[in-house]
Amino acid sequence: MSDAGALFRDRRDAGRRLAGRLSRFAHRSDVLVLALPRGGVPVAFEVSLALEARLDVFLVRKLGVPGHPELAMGAIASGGLRVLDRRLVEKLDISAGEIAEVEARELRELERRQSAYRESRAAPAVAGRTVLLVDDGVATVSTLKAAIQALREERPASIVAAIPVAPPSAIAELEALADEVVCLATPDPFLAVGRFYADFEATSDEEVRGLLDLAARGRTREAPVGAAAGRWGTERRSP
């Protein structure tokens, strides 16, 4: 898809549009916005601004098939949860040792991100809250599935999966897992999330830290420091 045919200018634009569909959750003390890093964070930042809700991250790592890392055989999430696509594992004859090797590598990255993104901030309490789980799009549901199942263990009041774009098949699967699914577009054929963004530049760790820090310091729109600043401009507005 060309830039002219993209659904969203960038993740920030997608977040603002998504916030419009989530307006009924605004100004509620029980609402918590959790982003799937890294790409989900700029989207969720805009959602949290519009709703005046707390923003944090929920860490999930895809488990890629050995030799084909783009193909997910499962995922791991904060709290030690592991989700496996057992049909795919059996079909490709992936051994327990191979799974353990991939899991150990992804667990190290999950722990690194948790330390880098949260720094000294404690994870927010989830029990009894309405959680808006936000990503920049869904191609396969393995990551969101792991996130939803892990969040269930924390006993939230409800989980709303909120995404700008996903294939129809993914929506059907997510509706069986989440209490509600909010998705702006379900194009078919789908192919890849990035095809629906004019700008789908990778989100950096620096940008994630900057946005989380801005949210923690008062939720105003201003440019993160460092390399991400050039992409975000100098806009500043009170929520």
* Torsion of the alpha carbons at 122, 127, 132 and 136, rounded to the nearest 10: 50
* Whether the Cβ atoms of residue 124 and residue 56 lie closer than 8 Å to each other: yes
Domain boundary assignment for the chain: 3-59+123-222
Q: What is the pLDDT of residue 219?
A: 52
Segment among 67-76, 164-173, 180-189, 205-214 with least mean pLDDT: 67-76
Query: What distances in angstroms separate CA 66 from CA 71, 80, 98, 132, 140, one per listed residue?
Result: 9, 21, 7, 32, 17
Token pair of 126, please? 């989830």
Token pair for 36: 């799937």
- Average pLDDT taken over every residue of the chain: 86
What is the per-residue DSSP string for 103-162?
A: HHHHHHHHHHHHHHHHTTPPPPP-TT-EEEEE-S--SSSHHHHHHHHHHHTT--SEEEEE
The sign of the dihedral angle between the CA atoms of 105, 107, 109, 115 is negative
Q: How confident is the model at residue 232 (pLDDT cuts 50, 70, 90)?
A: very low
User: What's the length of the chain?
Assistant: 239
Q: Is the pLDDT of residue 4 over 50?
A: no
Per-residue pLDDT tens over the stretch 199-213: 999 999 999 999 999
* pLDDT tops 60 at residue 67: yes
pTM, whole model, 2 decimals? 0.80
pLDDT band at 83 (very low <50, low <70, confident <90, very high): confident
Predicted pLDDT of residue 5? 60
- CATH code of 3-59+123-222, in short, is 3.40.50.2020
Characterize the bridge pairing of strands 130-134 and 31-35.
parallel
pLDDT reading at 185 higher than 60 = yes
Count Cα atoms within 13 angstroms, Cβ side, for 218: 6
The residue-averaged pLDDT of 211-219 equals 83
Q: Is 58 within 8 Å of 36 (Cβ atoms)?
A: yes
pLDDT at 46: 97
